[in-house]
Structure 1
């Protein structure tokens, strides 16, 4: 057999950060719609390492899925932080920036969003860095809430509860756009989704704002 016709050996992983490579392989599998089937053997095969190699970094599938969820949260959080820094320094502008980035990320990465917030696959109490990533996501929103409360712009309800209310609306809307065919069909196009995000934020804000500020 001529040398040029000989089969090429399978490319193997030889360098760098194996842990990150395994996480990246998991992210690719999720994007391909195989989140439920992910295990350590599958990511090892995708990276090109032995099936025992992942155990140097992850004790089991749960640890791998927690690391993947953390990567997703930090990617989303980075987008939120960058966006919020570019908008005017008032509560309504920052709230809408947060909402837009969150919804856009959910639409772009629906499979990953399911894994990021699935209690089945990820236990926030068991994974401190995963919890830290979640808190990092909400840092700019919490900071804006506290500043706006100090300025008497919005109601002085416990900020943790307000954060949960805001998250519930934004995450709920994101889930409906991604998961519900009727909603998705009625909101075709970026402009329609942007308009709905704006309406959600305006409705939420005027429910939170002090009545004498309206």
Structure 2
């Protein structure tokens, strides 16, 4: 295995274990065993366990950015739906991305990947409201929208949504949260 191949193999093994087990509690030895390297290899490439977890989260954030980028950026509902779909398809990665208690202090600078995602939402909202509602603050609106959509994603991936409100149409719930955050009527108005 090449030098960079070992590092990549450790990250790939960490991602596999995360997604297979559904738990963010994956250990260095377990990752090394899965990667087929010595138990000391992770420490050569990642100074701390947090650094390896943050590298895995960085990979997930980039995948999330790609998924959001594939949605029509002018259609805020499409972007919100892509966010929830990512969470539903990859719940363990979605959880890890937001486990600041595990990732803080890793030195990975994850905000350089995550902040542009939020800034894109702010820009889309600013564009959507430029002519219609000049008094609406796009940062506050984006924060409210993100909180609502993130809540749907978490409730949906943990099964809590299905327990509390069986048969809930997640897509309709997303549309309603978008309309409410954008201050639009829930009857037939465009969200994009």
**TM bin (shorter chain):** 0.7 to 0.9
The alignment yields a C-alpha RMSD, in angstroms, of 2.3
Return the offset for 1:207: 5.5
Where structure 1 has 5 or more consecutive residues not aligned to the other structure, the ranges are 1-13, 209-214
Structure 1 counterpart of 2:13 = 25
Structure 2 counterpart of 1:51 = 39
Contact kept, 8 Å, 1:76 with 1:137, in 2: the verdict is: no
- Does residue 186 (structure 1) correspond to residue 167 (structure 2)? The answer is yes
C-alpha separation in 2, matches of 1:157 and 1:202: 14
**1:103-182 alignment to 2 at 5 Å?**
103-123=84-104, 126-149=106-129, 151-179=130-158, 180=160, 181-182=162-163
Q: TM-score, normalising length from structure 1?
A: 0.75
Q: 1:203 to 1:163 in 2, by over 3 A?
A: closer
Contact kept, 8 Å, 1:176 with 1:183, in 2: the verdict is: no
Contact kept, 8 Å, 2:22 with 2:91, in 1: the verdict is: no
Return the offset for 1:160: 3.1
Q: TM-score, normalising length from structure 2?
A: 0.83
Of 41, 60, 65, 2:29 maps to 41
Return the offset for 1:183: 4.2
- Does residue 80 (structure 1) correspond to residue 68 (structure 2)? The answer is yes
- Does residue 200 (structure 1) correspond to residue 177 (structure 2)? The answer is yes
Which range is displaced more, 72-81 or 20-29? 20-29
Q: 1:81 to 1:52 in 2, by over 3 A?
A: same
Where structure 2 has 5 or more consecutive residues not aligned to the other structure, the ranges are 186-192
Highest CA radius of gyration, 1 or 2? 1
